[in-house]
Amino acid sequence: MADPYFRSLPLFPTYAVGDVNIDGLVPACRVESWEAFIEAMRSPNHNKAKGEIVYRGQAGHNWHLSSTLGRLFDGGAVPAEHQANLLNQFRLAMRGRGLDVSNLDEHEVWAFGQHHGLRTPLIDWTKSPYVALFFAFDEPDIKGVDNPSRAVFCLNMTAIRADESLSEIIFEPTHHENARLVNQAGLFTITPSGRDNLVSAILNELTENEVIDPSAPMDIARFIAKIHIPNEHRIECLNTLRKMNIHHANLFPDPGGASKYCNDWLARVIEEERRGELESQALEQQRLKAQAGVQEEQREVVPAPFDPRLIEVGEISADVITELLQSTLGQGGEFPPELLAGWAPRIINLYERTAGADWPERDAARVSLKLEFRKFLLSNSVNRSVAETCALLLLDLFESNWRKSNQRPRQQKWGDFFKVSEPSGEAT
């Protein structure tokens, strides 16, 4: 299978002109991951006070820079007559419908109209690359559409404004009727009406004024560029941005934003539960295979990643506990090894405080200890079903060691402890 297109592009901060059907005339590069994009945004070129860059995130790797109005016309150039007539129609249609737009200048009217769904020559940008990253990864992929990367466009606002002919394409609304724009650190570019789309208007002007060499991608990239980001680990990306207070409820301070925020929360909960159930089922299958191996007295290696029966007397240590935790919790990357290693001595202390001298001989004591293990895991954000499985494995580990130390044979076959029932009325 051939590598996706974006893999042919150079790594940030080197840019090249690639496939015009995908990137148009905008120089493009790639990063290795969304984490690498965040790191790239710490580079000096993106943190100069005298060279402010604005950003636009787009979910489709091959979406060109185009306004909602420009998308109606081939090439993205909007006929001047259509643009003027649409603006006039909107002014007339707004009479008696709330805000009086009759006295607003046309840019403010376009901005207000775009906020309410009007097709306009405006393209949204943000001063925050992380907000742009959010919009690039916000929506899930369209089913059946190949989309190997997502993209963030970069526009050097300071350099564009320095050109007298281009300065007016940057527009920052001052009207107070757009709280979303404030929270998103947003602004607009205005696609000129006539023959050019936004990109061609910028490049033609800069070339005519001999500011850039149109054949030199790195020269053009000082003004406008595109960064491809692998379309991977979307949920992890959004979770990280959420911790930076970049989410629907903050970016869209209205009922619609609150609704999307809550819908997103529910989707995350359901996905975490689904993933936990799959992990629990996988562990259950491993236990069943291991149990079958014991019953048949086979010496072959069982597929379970950790087998408590193999420990030696006196060998329960933080390292052994850590190995068990990593085999059950460490596979998805949610709980890193150093975190699990820190849990191990706390679990040993919990065992020493809770277990009595003859606890394996008393069902109530075994259930009580299992509940303590599970409570500890749940308090550390382990999925409920996985916490149940891991608690049972910890119980078996300590019981196996106790029986070997006390030379007390176990009456049940290995794996029977998973059937221990909890006393009626116990907290779950």
Q: Is the pLDDT of residue 22 over 50?
A: yes
Long-range Cβ contacts of 94-100 (<8 Å, 24+ apart): 99/177
Query: What is the rounded distance in angstroms from the CA atom of residue 62 to the CA atom of residue 39?
Result: 24
Distance CA 365, CA 367 (A): 5
Q: Are strands 224-230 and 28-30 parallel, antiparallel or unpaired?
A: parallel
Instruction: Name the residue with higher pLDDT: 139 or 192.
Output: 139
Q: Which pLDDT score, from 0 to 100, does residue 170 have?
A: 86
Of 41-45, 116-120, 380-384, give the lowest mean pLDDT range. Answer: 380-384
| Angle between helices 234-243 and 129-137 in degrees, nearest 10 | 140
pLDDT of 298 above 60: no
What is the pLDDT, as a whole number, of residue 418? Answer: 38
The answer, yes or no, to whether residue 297 has pLDDT greater than 60, is: no
What is the per-residue pLDDT across 63-101, written as a single tens digit (0 to 9) for each?
A: 999 888 888 888 777 888 888 899 989 988 888 877 778
Mean pLDDT of 307-334: 71
Band of residue 252 on the pLDDT scale cut at 50, 70, 90: low
Residue 178 has pLDDT above 60, yes or no: no
pLDDT for 400 equals 84
Residue 144 corresponds to which amino acid?
Answer: G
pLDDT category of residue 125 using cuts at 50, 70 and 90: very high
The model's pLDDT over 255-285, given as tens digits with 9 standing for 90+, comes to 765 676 677 767 767 776 776 677 667 766 7
* Angle of CA points 126, 58, 64, to nearest 5°: 105
The half-sphere exposure of 380 on its side-chain side, counting CA atoms within 13 A, is 21
Question: Does the pLDDT of residue 417 top 50, yes or no?
Answer: no
Taking only the tens place, the pLDDT of each residue in 195-207 is 678 899 899 999 9
Q: Are 30 and 11 spatial neighbours (Cβ–Cβ below 8 Å)?
A: yes
Per-residue pLDDT for 41 more than 90? yes
Domain borders along the chain are 5-252, 268-419
Q: How much is the pLDDT for 315? A: 62
Please give the structure tokens belonging to residue 142.
């369209």
Residue 412 above 50 pLDDT?
Answer: no
Q: What is the pLDDT of residue 187?
A: 85
Contact between 315 and 401 (Cβ < 8 Å): yes
The average pLDDT across 286-309 equals 49
Share of the chain above pLDDT 70, in %: 79
Would you give the DSSP letter of residue 210? T
pLDDT of res. 183: 56
Report the distance separating Cα 115 and Cα 419, nearest Å: 59
Q: What is the pLDDT of residue 313?
A: 43
Mean pLDDT of 298-303: 37
Please enumerate in sequence order all residues whose Cβ is within 8 A of that of 309, keeping only pairs 6 or more positions apart, or say none.
294, 400, 414
Predicted pLDDT at 280 = 67
Distance, in Å, from the CA atom of 393 to the CA atom of 329, rounded to the nearest integer, reads 12
Q: Is the pLDDT of residue 415 over 50?
A: no
Residue 171 reports pLDDT greater than 70: yes
Q: What is the mean pLDDT of the chain?
A: 81
